[in-house]
Structure 1
Amino acid sequence: MDALASLLEGPRARGAFVMCSLLEPPWSLRVEDEAPLTVVAMVRGGAWIVTDTAPARQLRAGDIAIFRGPDHYTVADDPGTAPQVIIEPGQITKTADGEILCETLSLGVRQWGTDPDGSTMLVTGAYESVGTAGHGLLRALPPVIVLGRDDFDSRVLDILVDEAVKDEPAQGVVLDRLLDMVLITALRTWLGRTDAPAWYHAYGDPLVGKALRLLQHNPAHGWTVAGLAEAVGVSRAALARRFTDLVGAPPMAFLTEWRLALAADLLTDSEATIESIARQVGYGSAFALSTAFKRQFGVSPRDHRRGVRTPELSSVG
């Protein structure tokens, strides 16, 4: 499993929100849905992205933007256009005065906006829930990534745009998979750039890359820094130093976070007992997992399975 595959193992679209917006200037959308990950493709026309922390950035036809939640942002025809529509959690759309617009601005199957012939068209795909094992990806991303059409292979994006307005059997599943492909294609381009996180390139390091793969593929093994160093053929001190420099955390700290992220996903997506999950991810007992899990996330494994969330978990899953 390479670096990108490891990062994207968690965030898989499941019932993702996909919508085509048709708009005529002036328009401005204030996005406060707090989705952990959102892809916006500019099909025609243009737009500006306005955040609370960075200068406004322009989107042109064919460009794609990836937003890392839960930060709020505005997409508008011009940076000076005041927000006319507020998009809240659950993709509830309201006017600035609080009037609900979901039905008022409906233009058909997964189409929404102010004008069916609008000069602006954009397609939005929102991951409203990302598996906890996707924490590494979300932590790696900046608040906004913008890629030009010529920067990445846009063929799958064209298919997503075409499929977004169809209502065929299993269409939701088709859109989920297409959205995943668009995200992977875009992130593969971005992560290959020099401005990608330094730790991402650690997978290409002959020592640290091997150590990362050993930890991720075998979380149940009783790893120690000494044992890991022996497995990759380097001294304990050299591995600890190089791993920390490239990954940003010591080997055992990385392993703990990985094990607990896997446990969180297994608790949500399987019916395995907590004892069984504990052993799958490298803890000797349910008690040991529960202690570490509560320390990391602020809730017990049992409460997490019941749907209890804390800021540590809700921000990544």
Structure 2
Amino acid sequence: MDVVSDAISAVRTGRPSSNRLRVGGSWCTRLAPYAGAGFHVVLAGGCWLVPDTGGEPVTLGAGDVVLLPHGVGHVLADSPGDTARAVPFEEMRRPAGGGDGREVELLCGKYRLDRSRTHPLMAELPEVVHLPNRVGRHPELRSAVDLLANELDERRPGACLALPSLLDLLLIYMVRAWMSEAETGSWPSVLSDPVTTAALRALHLDPAAPWTNDRLAAAAGVSRATLARRFTALVGRAPMAYLTWWRLTLAATRLRDTDASLAAVAREAGYGSPYALSHAFSREFGVTPGKYRVSAGSS
């Protein structure tokens, strides 16, 4: 798998959920903070998004997509003023006539995320990722939005499977689009650097391999000193430190999502024995693998 796919897979749990919202006239609704990530797709009309954290209001138009990767609470409304009038999203009802006749249609949803193992790429996403509908920009994202709108309209056979799959694609395309336009954050730079990208690809492709700095440098086609300097400067961890963290992250994912034995999890994560994994895991997460599995299963 590539780094972006791994970063999303490690943190995502369950299936995304979504609701279609149609409103008109004067309206204002609040979405409470969420432990995962929220998103909105404006299918028709326009509205405003006002973050609870005091960030600048964002105007949204037809075709716009917005991701709230850290689940910040926010208000959606016909105008950015007087958010005190907001009603909970769960209580929103389509007004019966009245207003100025303008109707807004949105797809609002959530991704379930396990923040105990957030990859740094996902962690550095801003509170609000606004991706305006611009002609010629991010064609795959635009295609996903069009497909989502069709599934919502048609309710054709297989829609129950197609819709969550399209929502998963939407998350990937939103992260890709942010990376292509980001003016801040280190990971867009990390993945545009050929040396660091080659090293990360090698580690993610086969994390259980007996990696050393020399072997990884050879895979990246540079000297050990060059790899150490560039990787550490961009990623923020030395190559072997990143590998240790990623192996333990993979182990935690396997413990949470499967019934694989501790020996199998250790082997897949590159540890020679369950004891070696348990020692490293406890140091990283503060609990044994067994206790982690129990707590993850009950959450």
Instruction: Report the TM-score range of the alignment, normalised by the length of the smaller protein.
Output: 0.7 to 0.9
**Letter of the 1:20 counterpart:** R
Which one-letter code corresponds to 1:43 in the other structure?
A: L
Q: How does 1:54-73 map to 2 (within 5 A)?
A: 54-73=55-74
Aligned residue type for 1:68: P
Indicate yes or no: 2:19 matched with 1:31.
no
2:182, 2:127 → 1: CA distance?
A: 17
Contact 2:3 2:200 (8 Å CA) reproduced: no
- Cα 1:7–1:243 change in 2 (3 A) is same
Q: Is the 8 A contact 1:279 1:285 kept in 2?
A: yes
Q: Please say if residues 46 and 61 of structure 1, whose CA atoms lie closer than 8 Å, have aligned partners that are also in contact.
A: yes
C-alpha separation in 1, matches of 2:227 and 2:23: 54
User: What is the distance in 1 between the residues matched to 2:4 and 2:296?
Assistant: 30
Task: Calculate the TM-score normalised by the size of structure 2.
Answer: 0.84
How many angstroms does 1:54 deviate by? Answer: 1.7
Question: Which of 112, 128, 133 does residue 144 from structure 1 map onto?
Answer: 128
Deviation track 1:132-191 (CA, whole Å, cap 9, x = no partner) reads 776344213111110111133212212212323665555332111111222223332221
Kindly state the Cα deviation for residue 242 of structure 1 after the two structures are TM-superposed: 0.8
Q: Which amino acid aligns with 1:115?
A: P
Identify unmatched segments of 5+ residues in structure 2.
none
Compute the RMSD of aligned alpha carbons. Answer: 2.8
- SS state at 1:82 partner: helix
Q: 2:283 aligns with which of 292, 295, 301?
A: 295
Q: Distance in 2 between matches of 1:199 and 1:42?
A: 28
Gap runs ≥5 in structure 1? 88-92, 94-100, 106-112
1:233-248 aligned at under 5 Å gives the runs 233-248=221-236
- Give the Å deviation of 1:302: 1.6
Q: Is the 8 A contact 2:256 2:296 kept in 1?
A: no
* TM-score normalised by L of structure 1: 0.80
- Residue 132 of structure 2 aligns to which amino acid in structure 1? G
User: What corresponds to 2:166 in structure 1?
Assistant: 178
Cα deviations by residue, 1:188-235 (Å, 9 ceiling, x for unpaired) = 222112526333332333322211111111111222323322443433
| Bigger share in helix | 2
User: Could you say which residue in structure 2 is the equivalent of 1:263?
Assistant: 251
Q: Tell me if the contact between 2:2 and 2:205 (Cα under 8 Å) persists in the aligned partners.
A: no
SS of 1:284's partner is coil
* Cα distance change on mapping 1:309 and 1:165 into 2, 3 Å: same
